[in-house]
């Protein structure tokens, strides 16, 4: 005993000393030092803590759309609730329209390379040689008594310096008057709002979003989220109630966040009757405004104004669209706890595909997302057609996709439907589960794309959809320029943010659901996360902890590799050794056969190229008493020999070449033509992250072994996934097609 303990203590002492002098974090070490620690506000389980708080902002807005001058002006009253434990001497307000001002520090920076061949629109994006007006004019900021409040504007953020601090647990009301020129969406890149002009009939579709000065988020993890708007990173916003009055040309139709409060004043009696019919139509959309009626509207050009009134409860933003060109259809969607009106607004340029598919796609998204998380809680869900865009807001989204001369390719149609599903899905992430898009784009885009792809797979099974193979080209790219998912939104390379913030998180969640945790348990955990954090502000740590808490699964190894590194999956099936155990004495031929696998005088194995040399022979002897130590009982050696006799024993050696730990799926192809699958947990890598050996007992003889046969883990090189090695190109192509097909 003493002789064993001494070397053990010596080794243990060495390990402690090494850890002190050479910091090392294995792939299975906890990620506690990489995420925000739990506290009274955010529990270690991933749930909101007992002391969790968040701010609130209610808005009353009156706005006027000036079609002649393409401007919008408004007055708003904000009631701001300081639910934090801090007294606030100033507030930060977002002025996103300032991002388009001339001289803005970020203009042209998103895609700023000059190419040998550039079209004029690309040159305009880069240089702004044709100038256009943009940005807010702030008329006043006043408190409830009409006294002016001082402010300072820093690019897209405005600091409101309070006359006296806003105490913890109190609220204040103040007003802002403002205006800005609406920008032509064709004039600048990443246009999430603005107007689209139609020269043929001299009309305009207005998409009005991030249009009013909005409160920035103040939270427990960073105080004010006053990071500048730089177009890629979107928005961090507080929840509140909205009362909004929008005055537009009399012949315009408005699609908006919220419930319409004065339908009798803005809709004709015919339109009102059609809407009532739509509220009872669960199988098909009802046209509220037909093509013929929209074409009549296109010719009117009214100079009079009409005011539309909307209320929205517990939303984090408000957007609307306005045009005389709109056709309008609506259909009721019955959810377990709510009936929602799915509605689409589109100009005639969207026909016929928008009338055929838009509202149907809304319905599919509402049903699948509700089942996966929680029932859609709002009264309406709207899709508005425009060009070159997919952008989300509470209850309304702006979506591209149109036919050309009445025809649309299957690929373009899939893209249009996918865009609608995706943008409708954003109502859950981040419009209700309100993560910080400005900081962590992947938390809304990745989670939403995951459910978007699930919706496509379930409701449009013939469509192309994202699978683990989708991310292989990205993950096998140049590591010098790749960045991990845990990169702040605006710091990602423009040509990589789609793969890194949308597709890679989606594939990661697909792996967790399909191959690591299991569908039933994962779905319960994902739903738990959504319900814990609806109408709240989760951080990455809250998601990571909830998925572990609700599944009893150690996932730190997965988070560390998939979210925090640029490692990729490349598992190599290095060797498969075949053994048999015989009870009788082995003959000289067996001994010679065994020796073929050894190199005399070297501690090196000769790797067989295939199974043609037959099995190595194991001479299994009786266990000596000394091997039992102080145990008095003995195993039934006769039974062991009986169970193992004549069986095929395979020792599989797998190397981790890509650095990313994953479970291992092994496919066995037997001599009789049958197949079998063995699945090994990622935990097999725990003691050796670079190479593992695993032993299997099989009744049948094996002729081929494949790793990851269903391509579940985004392995970037499947040429090293087989034994015997794939020699012929035609055989490899067959194997590749089998493993990477949709």
Residue 121: its pLDDT value, please?
82
Q: Summarize the confidence of residues 671-700 as an average pLDDT.
A: 96
Residue pLDDT, tens place only, 15-55: 444 444 445 578 999 999 999 999 999 999 999 999 999 99
Sheet of 150-154, strand order: 150-154, 157-166, 88-94, 214-215
Please give the residue that has the higher pLDDT: either 124 or 342.
342
Whether the predicted pLDDT of 437 surpasses 60 = yes
Asked whether residue 721 carries a pLDDT value surpassing 50, the answer given is yes
Would you say residue 596 has pLDDT above 80? no
Q: What's the pLDDT score for residue 653? A: 97
Decide if pLDDT at 576 tops 80. Answer: yes
In angstroms, the first-to-last Cα distance of the chain is 59
For residue 74, the cross-strand partners are: 63, 178
Residues 247 and 66: their CA atoms lie apart, in Å, by 9
Task: Say how far apart CA 465 and CA 146 lie, in whole Å.
Answer: 56
Integer Cα distance of 519 and 28 in angstroms: 23
Which of these, 349, 376, 346, lies nearest to 364 by C-alpha position?
376
Lowest-confidence region among 112-121, 202-211, 279-288, 555-564: 112-121
pLDDT of 566 reads 96
Non-local (6+) Cβ contacts of 504 within 8 A are 442, 446, 471, 474, 475, 485, 562
Quote the CA–CA distance of 324 and 294 in Å, as a whole number.
7
- Rounded CA-CA distance 104/225 in Å is 20
Specify the DSSP element, H or E, that contains 637: helix 637-644
Mean pLDDT of 652-659: 97
Question: For position 187, what pLDDT does the model report?
Answer: 79
Q: Which helix (H) or strand (E) holds 194?
A: strand 194-198
Q: Is the pLDDT of residue 731 over 60?
A: no
HSE (side-chain half, CA atoms, 13 Å) at 249: 24
616-618 and 571-581: which strand pairing? Answer: parallel
pLDDT band for 109, please (50, 70, 90 cuts). low
The whole-model pTM stands at 0.91
Q: Does 231 score more than 80 pLDDT?
A: yes
The maximal CA–CA distance of the chain, rounded, in angstroms, is: 105
Confidence (pLDDT) at 727: 58
Residue 716 predicted with pLDDT over 90: yes
Q: Which residue has the higher pLDDT, 120 or 342?
A: 342
**pLDDT band with cut points at 50, 70 and 90 for residue 436:** very high
Return the pLDDT at 113.
73
- Asked which of 225-239, 315-329, 601-615 is least confident by mean pLDDT, the reply is 601-615
* Residue closest to 214 by CA, chosen among 93, 394, 307, 58: 93
* The pLDDT value given to residue 738: 44
Of 182-191, 361-370, 726-735, the range with the lowest mean pLDDT is 726-735
**Cα–Cα distance measured from residue 153 to residue 96, given in angstroms and rounded to the nearest whole number:** 12
Output the pLDDT for position 103.
73
C-alpha distances in angstroms, 431 versus 163, 216, 234, 437, 504?
33, 15, 12, 10, 22
* pLDDT given for residue 129 in this prediction: 82
Per-residue pLDDT, averaged over 425-441, amounts to 97
pLDDT (0 to 100) of residue 12: 43
Query: Which band of pLDDT confidence, cut at 50, 70 and 90, is reported for residue 5?
Result: very low
Tokens of 235: 């928005």
Average pLDDT over residues 172-197: 91
Contact predicate 154/190, CB 8 Å? no
Question: With 80 as the cut, is the pLDDT of residue 604 above it?
Answer: no
| pLDDT band at 243; cut points 50, 70, 90 | very high
Q: What is the dihedral of CA 667, 671, 672, 674, to 10 degrees?
A: 0
Q: Is the peptide bond before 352 cis (omega within 30 degrees of 0)?
A: yes
- To the nearest whole number, what is the mean pLDDT of the chain? 90
Bridge partner residues of 174 (DSSP):
78, 143
Among candidate residues 184, 111, 59, 25, the one with its CA nearest the CA of residue 494 = 111
Mean per-residue pLDDT, 452-469: 96
Mean pLDDT for 200-205 is 96
Contact residues for 597 (Cβ-Cβ < 8 A; gap 6+): 577, 605, 606, 608, 613, 616
The arrangement of secondary structure in 194-207+240-433, i.e. its CATH architecture, is 2-Layer Sandwich (3.30)
What token pair was written down for 35? 């995420």
* Secondary structure tally for the chain: helices H, strands E: 17, 31
What pLDDT score was predicted for residue 493?
A: 76
pLDDT at position 107: 53
Q: Which of 268, 214, 277, 224 is nearest to 244 (CA)?
A: 214
Same topology between domain 6-52+436-566 and domain 194-207+240-433: no
- Structure token pair of residue 366: 């509402």
Would you kindly state where each structural domain of the chain is located, as residue ranges? 6-52+436-566, 194-207+240-433, 571-740
CATH entry 1.10.390.10 includes domain 6-52+436-566: yes
Q: How far is CA 301 from the centre of its chain?
A: 42
Tell me the mean pLDDT in the region 73-92: 98
Q: What integer is the mean pLDDT of 436-441?
A: 94
125 has pLDDT over 80: no
Residue-wise pLDDT for 474-484, tens only, equals 999 999 899 99
Asked whether the predicted pLDDT for residue 292 surpasses 80, the reply is yes
Residue of 232 and 538 predicted with greater confidence: 538
- At 599, the pLDDT band (50, 70, 90 cuts) reads very low
The mean pLDDT of 334-343, rounded to a whole number, is 98
Percent of the chain with pLDDT over 90: 79
| 621 pLDDT above the threshold of 90 | no
Q: Is the pLDDT of residue 534 over 80?
A: yes
**pLDDT tens-digit series, residues 354-405:** 999 999 999 999 999 999 999 999 999 999 999 988 999 999 999 999 999 8
Q: Is 71 helix (H, G, I), strand (E, B) or coil?
A: strand
């Amino acid at each position: 005993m003493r002789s064993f303990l001494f070397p053990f203590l010596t080794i243990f002492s060495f390990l402690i000393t090494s850890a002190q002098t050479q910091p090392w974090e294995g792939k299975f070490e906890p990620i506690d030092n990489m995420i925000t620690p739990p506290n009274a506000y955010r529990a270690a389980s991933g749930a909101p803590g007992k002391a969790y708080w968040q701010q609130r902002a209610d808005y009353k807005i009156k706005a006027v759309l000036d079609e002649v001058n393409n401007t919008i002006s408004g007055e708003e009253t904000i009631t701001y609730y300081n639910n934090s434990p801090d007294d606030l001497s100033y507030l930060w307000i977002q002025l996103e329209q300032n991002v388009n001002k001339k001289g803005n520090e970020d203009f042209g920076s998103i895609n700023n390379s000059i190419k040998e061949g550039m079209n004029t629109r690309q040159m305009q994006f880069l240089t702004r040689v044709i100038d256009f007006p943009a940005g807010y004019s702030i008329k006043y900021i006043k408190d409830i008594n009409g006294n002016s409040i001082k402010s300072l504007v820093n690019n897209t953020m405005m600091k409101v310096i309070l006359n006296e601090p806003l105490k913890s647990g109190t609220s204040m009301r103040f007003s802002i008057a403002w205006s800005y020129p609406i920008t032509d969406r064709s004039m600048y890149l990443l246009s999430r709002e603005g107007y689209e002009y139609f020269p043929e009939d001299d009309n305009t579709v207005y998409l009005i979003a991030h249009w009013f000065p909005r409160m920035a988020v103040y939270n427990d993890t960073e105080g004010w989220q006053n990071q500048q708007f730089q177009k890629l990173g979107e928005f961090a916003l507080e929840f509140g109630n909205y009362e909004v009055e929008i005055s537009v040309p009399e012949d315009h139709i408005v699609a908006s966040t919220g419930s319409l409060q004065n339908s009798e004043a803005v809709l004709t009696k015919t339109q009102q009757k059609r809407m009532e019919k739509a509220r009872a139509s669960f199988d098909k959309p009802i046209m509220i405004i037909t093509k013929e009626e929209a074409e009549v509207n296109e010719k009117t050009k009214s100079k009079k104004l009409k005011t539309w009134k909307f209320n929205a409860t517990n939303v984090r933003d408000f957007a609307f669209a306005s045009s005389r060109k709109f056709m309008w259809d609506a259909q009721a969607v019955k959810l377990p706890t709510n009936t929602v009106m799915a509605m689409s607004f589109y100009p005639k340029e969207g026909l016929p595909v928008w009338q055929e598919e838009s509202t149907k796609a809304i319905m599919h998204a509402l049903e699948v997302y509700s089942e996966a998380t929680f029932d859609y809680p709002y009264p309406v869900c709207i899709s508005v057609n425009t060009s070159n865009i997919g952008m989300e807001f509470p209850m309304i989204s702006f979506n591209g996709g149109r036919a050309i001369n009445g025809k649309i390719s299957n690929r373009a149609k899939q893209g249009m439907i996918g865009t609608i599903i995706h943008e409708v899905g954003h109502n859950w992430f981040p419009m209700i589960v309100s993560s910080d898009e400005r900081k962590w784009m992947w938390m809304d885009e990745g989670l939403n794309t995951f459910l978007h792809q699930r919706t496509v797979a379930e409701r449009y099974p013939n469509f192309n959809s994202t699978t683990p193979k989708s991310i292989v080209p990205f993950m096998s790219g140049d590591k010098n320029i790749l960045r991990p998912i845990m990169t702040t939104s605006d710091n990602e390379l423009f040509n990589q943010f789609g793969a890194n913030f949308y597709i890679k998180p989606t594939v990661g969640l697909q792996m967790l659901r399909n191959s690591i945790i299991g569908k039933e348990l994962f779905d319960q955990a994902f739903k738990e996360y959504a319900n814990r954090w609806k109408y709240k502000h989760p951080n990455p740590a809250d998601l990571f902890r909830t998925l572990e808490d609700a599944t009893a699964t150690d996932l730190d190894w997965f988070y560390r590799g998939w979210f925090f590194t640029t490692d990729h999956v490349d598992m190599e099936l290095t060797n498969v050794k075949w053994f048999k155990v015989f009870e009788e004495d082995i003959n000289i031929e067996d001994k010679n056969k065994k020796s073929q696998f050894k190199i005399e005088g070297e501690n090196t194995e000769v790797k067989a190229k295939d199974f043609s040399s037959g099995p190595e022979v194991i001479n299994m002897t009786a266990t000596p008493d000394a091997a039992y130590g102080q145990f008095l009982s003995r195993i039934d050696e006769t039974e062991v020999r009986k169970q193992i006799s004549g069986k095929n024993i395979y020792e599989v050696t797998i190397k981790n070449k890509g650095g990313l730990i994953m479970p291992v799926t092994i496919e066995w192809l037997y001599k009789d033509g049958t197949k079998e699958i063995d699945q090994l947990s990622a935990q097999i890598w725990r003691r050796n992250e670079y190479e593992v050996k695993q032993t299997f007992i099989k009744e049948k003889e094996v002729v081929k072994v494949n790793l990851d046969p269903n391509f579940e883990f985004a392995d970037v090189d499947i040429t090293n996934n087989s034994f015997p090695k794939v020699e012929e190109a035609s055989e490899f192509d067959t194997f590749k097609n089998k493993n990477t097909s949709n």
